[in-house]
Amino acid sequence: MSGNEIFKPRNVAAWALKRKDRPLVVSKADYTSPPKDYVAIKVFDAAVNPIDWIMQDEDIFGIDYPTVFGMDVAGEIVEVGDKVDEFKIGQRVIAHCEAYTEPSKGGFQKYTLVHRARVAELPYEIATAQGVVLPLAISTASAGLYQKGFLALPYPTLKPESLDRTVIIWGGSSSVGSCAIQLAVASGATVITTASPGNFEYCRKLGASKVFDYHDDDVEDQIVDALKGMTVVGAFHAVGGDGAVQACARIVDRTKGKATVVTVRGVPDDGIPSSVRMKMIGAGEIFNGEVGPYIWREFLPMALDQGTILPKPDPLIVGEELRSVQLGLDKQKKGVSAQKVVITNIS
């Protein structure tokens, strides 16, 4: 069905009515037909990211309210806009939503609009509640690993050639870390990561060569020793409390290769060796160039189908329907380990 035909289902959203308002309010929402290059997705499942509760607490982007949060969805295509010919009505997909731009593009609603470049087909062997853990994490990992000026790895493939280079990923069991490990391995890199001991085997199964306990006082020395004889392309700070970014910087400063750290957090004002180059990651930036279209449209659908990329970490389903979104935000804020908070049965 094209955007010019009449298709007006009843839409409902979990609204943030004003800044720092809680709880979210479930109420009706307009259904908007997709414009050129967009698709409309009927949302079956949505995942919660830290940015969602941060926005509710702090409104760091200064956006207009009321609005709809949510960046990770899984569901099916119900309508396509002009110039969209790669998707069919009824196709199962996952998508990285453009929440915080306008309400119709937020994920916490029954029907959302997403640009075609941010959507990937989901194999029938993967449940939507499982696949929904990926979108923002895949984009964030790709932004740090592949963009020029960041770690700039070769693009991932289904049959990678050995790169003879090593990537340090701090926080391998997080959602971003889980994706970064798998993508880096699919680029031919060797991965060294950190995690809690209970998640060591989890990280190894995703492809990490060695895993270190970030709690250890001498973890930096352990990693530097393990990197002897290796050439490092840099460090990816995926998660971690105070001091984790500086730890990454000190490690790359002591190893052979590029002294570059990419981070999901802001760059610290102090504690960074002068020789180390720091870059803050913005997930949405990959859609301003070729990285986003390659990852989402060329690589990810095939990688999911072939099992090269697994939808990890596993979902932690906290409830059903939009009434459970606030519970999901609160649960994510409290913290989870090797899990992604998911709300299911939204439509």
Residue at 301 is within a domain: no
Per the structure, the complete domain to which residue 317 belongs is given by 11-133+313-344
The answer to whether residues 142 and 279 belong to one domain is yes
The answer to whether residues 145 and 189 belong to one domain is yes
Confidence band for 116, pLDDT divided at 50, 70 and 90: very high
Question: Two tokens at 297?
Answer: 């449209």
Q: What is the pLDDT of residue 321?
A: 98
Q: What is the pLDDT of residue 345?
A: 98
Residue at 302 is within a domain: no
Q: Which helix (H) or strand (E) holds 112?
A: strand 111-115
Check if the beta carbon of residue 131 is closer than 8 Å to that of residue 342.
no
Q: What pairing do the DSSP bridges indicate for beta strands 38-47 and 260-263?
A: unpaired
The answer to whether residues 119 and 153 belong to one domain is no
Residue at 296 is within a domain: no
Q: What is the pLDDT of residue 4?
A: 47
Check if the beta carbon of residue 178 is closer than 8 Å to that of residue 313.
yes
Residue at 306 is within a domain: no
Which of 284, 299, 326 lies at the terminal end of a domain, its last residue?
A: 284
The answer to whether residues 116 and 143 belong to one domain is no
Q: What is the pLDDT of residue 5?
A: 55
The answer to whether residues 171 and 47 belong to one domain is no
Mean pLDDT of the chain: 96
Q: What is the pLDDT of residue 59?
A: 82
Burial of residue 297 (number of CB atoms within 10 Å: 0-12, 13-18, 19+): middle
The answer to whether residues 258 and 153 belong to one domain is yes
| Distance from C-alpha of 252 to C-alpha of 259, rounded to nearest angstrom | 5
Domains: count for the chain: 2
| Distance from C-alpha of 305 to C-alpha of 23, rounded to nearest angstrom | 38
The answer to whether residues 185 and 114 belong to one domain is no
Q: What is the pLDDT of residue 2?
A: 47
> Which whole number is the average pLDDT over 10-16?
97
Which of 284, 305, 322 lies at the terminal end of a domain, its last residue?
A: 284
Strand partners, 212: 194
Residue at 289 is within a domain: no
Strand partners, 229: none
| Distance from C-alpha of 99 to C-alpha of 112, rounded to nearest angstrom | 10
Residue at 47 is within a domain: yes
Model pLDDT for residues 158-182, shown as the tens digit of each residue:
999 999 999 999 999 999 999 999 9
